[in-house]
Amino acid sequence: MAHILVVEDDDMFRESLVDMLTKDGHRVTIAKNGEEGVHACSQICPELIITDILMPCMDGIEAIMELSRQGLTIPIIAISGGRRTISAEFNLESAQLLGVKEILAKPFSRVDLRHAIKQALPN
């Protein structure tokens, strides 16, 4: 199974996501915002990143752009639930333009997550 970096600011959602991933046998490292996520990537070299888009300090789009500037080619799954003024679809389409492998709108099922991971990771 893969070593996955989960970048998510919502404590409850992050715990649920980590629980799903660990039950599927993945090793998980967490970060609570994009800034922590970028730093973690330089420390642990994950095989996959799952990142929320809307977060404090550094959002997911900024983190994806920074990782790209650093030349990292780690597959990324972008997730978003949107906000009142910005839809999840807009956030996820923006992430796709930056080259993320898969996108998931919150809430998503365990089946959706497994499918996205399978599609994002090289065989």
Q: What is the mean pLDDT of each successive set of 10 residues along the chain, which is 123 residues long?
A: 97 97 98 97 95 92 94 93 63 78 91 96 81
| Predicted local confidence at residue 88, as pLDDT | 59
3-state SS class at 121: coil
Please report the domains of the chain, with CATH numbers, ordered by start residue: 3-120 (3.40.50.2300)
pTM of the model: 0.91
| Predicted local confidence at residue 39, as pLDDT | 97
Number of Cβ atoms within 10 Å of the Cβ of 80: 27
At 45-67, the pLDDT tens digits run: 999 999 999 899 999 999 999 99
**Sequence letter at residue 12:** M
3-state SS class at 30: strand
